[in-house]
Structure 1
Amino acid sequence: MALAWSVAAAIPAAAAGGAAIDQLAWMSGTWGAEKDGRWTEEHWTAPRGGLMLGVNRTGAGDAARGFEFLRIQAGSDGVLSYWAAPAGQAPVPFRLTASTADSVTFENPQHDFPTVITYRREGDRLQATIAGPGGAKAMSWTWQRR
C-alpha cells in the first residue's frame, strides 16, 4: 500500500527543531472500528506535561486478542519520540521525522518491523499505518472517533 504524502505540507522535524507535543492534540480521543466480528480501538490522552499516553486493543467477539501501550514524549534533544510496547514487551522508540497539521511520521530504521509509523487524521477518522523500509509490507488501520 502506498502512502500519499503532500511533500509541500510536510515539515521535517530537524528543520522545525522538532514538533511540540501540543501540535499532536488532534490524535487525542477514543477511536474504534468493527468489521465481521473483529474490533480494534485506540485511545490517546490529550497532551499534558510534555506527554501523550496511548493504548491499543484488538479482539474478536468478546475476546481480546492483542494490546499495546504507547507513549509520545520529547527526548533530551527536544525531538518527539513514539514509544511502542506491544503485548507488554520492552518499549521501542521511533523518532519524529515529519509532521503537518493533521499527520505525523515516526521512524526507527534499526528496528526489524515496522521501521515507520504514521498517523493521519481526516475529520472524524484516524488512520495509523506501519511499514518497513521503503513502505514495504505496509498495514493500515482506520478508526472512527467514538
Structure 2
Amino acid sequence: MGRTILVGLALLATGAGPATAMPGWLTGCWSEQKGPSWTEECWTSPRAGNMMGSGRNGRGDDLRSWEAMQIERGADGKLVFYGSPKGAPRVAFPELSSGPREIVFANPQHDYPQRIRYWREGMDLMAETSLMDGTKAYRWRYKRQLGS
C-alpha cells in the first residue's frame, strides 16, 4: 500500500481533514491611505510552517499604533493567527474557515476583535476585524506597495 493511501486512511480514521495551506497570497507589503491617515501591513512568505507579519497605522508623520503578528500551525493542524499590539502578550485566534484566497480566524473570548478575516479581491488585499456576529466591523482595502 502506498504512503498516500496510508495517510488518507489515517486521516479518515481520526476524522481530520487535510491541513489548510499557509496563506501565501498574504505575502508582501500592503498599504491603505485615507487622506492623512494610513495603515500598512507586511507579511513574510510561508516558511517552516510560519509567516511573520507587522502592521502599523498613523496620521501624517504620527505613528498611532503598531502590531507584531504571526501565523503558524497549531497542535490540531489548523492555522492560528497571533497578534501582539504594541508589544502586549500575544493573543491566539484559531482558524475558523478558509478557502483558496480567504482565511478567517476567531477567538470569541477576546474583547475586540473576536474575528479577523483576510481575503483577496483581484490585486487588492482585504482585511476585516469584527465581533463574532460581524458587528462593529472595520475594513481595510490594501494596495500592494511598490517593490514588494
Give the TM-score taking structure 1 as reference length.
0.85
Which is higher, the Rg of structure 1 or of structure 2?
A: 2
1:15 offset after TM fit, Å?
6.5
Indicate the percent of aligned positions where both proteins have the same amino acid: 40
CA-atom RMSD, angstroms?
Answer: 1.4
Query: What is the alpha-carbon distance in structure 1 between the residues aligned to residue 115 and residue 32 of structure 2?
Result: 22
Is the contact between residue 106 and residue 132 of structure 2 (CA under 8 Å) also seen in structure 1?
no
Say which structure, 1 or 2, has more relative contact order (CA 8 Å, 6+ apart).
1
Is the contact between residue 80 and residue 95 of structure 1 (CA under 8 Å) also seen in structure 2?
yes
Question: Do the aligned partners of residues 115 and 15 (structure 1) sit closer, same or farther apart at CA in structure 2, a change above 3 Å counting?
Answer: farther
Query: What is the alpha-carbon distance in structure 1 between the residues aligned to residue 135 and residue 62 of structure 2?
Result: 30
Aligned residue pairs total: 131
Is the contact between residue 18 and residue 96 of structure 1 (CA under 8 Å) also seen in structure 2?
no
Query: What is the alpha-carbon distance in structure 2 between the residues aligned to residue 110 and residue 43 of structure 1?
Result: 27
1:33 offset after TM fit, Å?
1.4
Could you tell me which residue of structure 2 aligns to residue 92 of structure 1? Answer: 91
Runs of 4+ in 1 over 3 A off after TM superposition: 14-18
Is the contact between residue 17 and residue 79 of structure 1 (CA under 8 Å) also seen in structure 2?
no
Could you tell me which residue of structure 2 aligns to residue 19 of structure 1? Answer: 20
1:18 offset after TM fit, Å?
3.5
SS of the residue corresponding to residue 26 of structure 1 reads helix
Give the TM-score taking structure 2 as reference length.
0.84
